[in-house]
Structure 1
Amino acid sequence: MTSLTPENPVFATYMIAASLMVLKIMGQGWMTVYRMLKSDAGLVSPEDLQVGIINKNPRPEQLEIIDYVDRSRRMHRNDLENIPAFLASGLLFVLAGPPLWLANTLMYGFVAARLLHTLAYATKQSHEMRATLYTVGSLIVIFMALYTLAAAL
Structure 2
Amino acid sequence: MSAVYSLDDQVFTAFLKYGGLALLKLVLMTPIITICRYFASGITVEESVTGTKIRDKSKHFRPRLERFRAAHLNDLENIVPFILLSFLYVATKPDLGMATYLFKVFAFTRVIHTVAYLKRFRQTIRRLTYVPGIIVNVYMAMHIVRAVW
In 2, the alpha carbon distance for the partners of 1:65 and 1:24 equals 25
Equivalent in the alignment of 1:59: 54
Equivalent in the alignment of 1:30: 31
- The counterpart of 1:144, out of the listed 131, 140, 147, is 140
Structure of higher RCO (CA pairs closer than 8 Å, 6+ residues apart): 2
Equivalent in the alignment of 1:110: 106
Equivalent in the alignment of 2:47: 47
Equivalent in the alignment of 2:90: 94
| Structure 2: segments with no counterpart, 5+ residues | none
Tell me the TM-score normalised to structure 2 length: 0.92
Q: Give 1:150 shift.
A: 1.0
How many correspondences in the alignment? Answer: 147
Q: Work out whether residues 120 and 129 of structure 1, in 8 Å CA contact, stay in contact via their aligned partners in 2.
A: yes
Equivalent in the alignment of 2:8: 7
Question: Runs of at least 4 residues of structure 1 off by over 6 A?
Answer: none
In 2, the alpha carbon distance for the partners of 1:10 and 1:126 equals 35
Could you report, residue by residue, the CA deviation over 1:20-62 in whole angstroms, capped at 9, with x for unpaired residues? 1111111111111111011111x122221134xxxxx541445
Q: Work out whether residues 40 and 62 of structure 1, in 8 Å CA contact, stay in contact via their aligned partners in 2.
A: no
| Structure 1: segments with no counterpart, 5+ residues | 52-56
Alpha carbon RMSD of aligned pairs, Å? 1.4
Q: Work out whether residues 114 and 137 of structure 1, in 8 Å CA contact, stay in contact via their aligned partners in 2.
A: yes
Equivalent in the alignment of 2:117: 121
Could you report, residue by residue, the CA deviation over 1:79-138 in whole angstroms, capped at 9, with x for unpaired residues? 011111101110011001111101110001100110110111121101111112110110
Determine what percentage of the aligned residue pairs are the same residue.
Answer: 23
In 2, the alpha carbon distance for the partners of 1:58 and 1:105 equals 53
Q: Give 1:13 shift.
A: 0.7
SS of aligned partner of 1:16:
helix
Q: Work out whether residues 36 and 69 of structure 1, in 8 Å CA contact, stay in contact via their aligned partners in 2.
A: yes
Q: Which amino acid aligns with 1:59?
A: I
In 1, the alpha carbon distance for the partners of 2:125 and 2:105 equals 16
In 1, the alpha carbon distance for the partners of 2:148 and 2:84 equals 15
